[in-house]
Amino acid sequence: MNGQNQENSADWIRAAAREGTVKGEQWQIVGTFFEVQAENNRVQLSEDHDHFLWIDPQEYKKYNLILNLVPAFEAYLKK
């Protein structure tokens, strides 16, 4: 990994970590981001989730994302 990629990865990690309350409990929440190519459109959600949405990273500003995700998208777009 070159210096530029390491810097962008660090931005992603800082953007992904946050604290929050889930089901009345205080949790440390860490988002994990992957760049992948899907073999098909099938998605299986856990019982904790009821929907999902794929978005074009270049269009992230069109969506009402939690603020700590913005630096992750910006770091991704710089790569």
Instruction: Quote the CA–CA distance of 33 and 70 in Å, as a whole number.
Output: 13
Q: Is the pLDDT of residue 1 over 60?
A: no
What stretches of the chain adopt beta strand conformation (E)? Answer: 17-22, 25-30
pLDDT at 3: 45
pLDDT in tens, 49-68: 898 888 899 999 999 888 87
Domain boundaries, the chain: 1-18+49-79
Q: Supply the pTM of this predicted model.
A: 0.54
Instruction: Quote the CA–CA distance of 64 and 60 in Å, as a whole number.
Output: 8
Q: Which range is least confidently modeled, 25-29, 37-41, 62-66?
A: 25-29
- C-beta of residue 68 within 8 angstroms of C-beta of residue 15: yes
Residue 72 burial class via C-beta count within 10 angstroms: exposed 0-12, middle 13-18, buried 19 and up:
buried
Mean pLDDT (the chain, rounded): 77
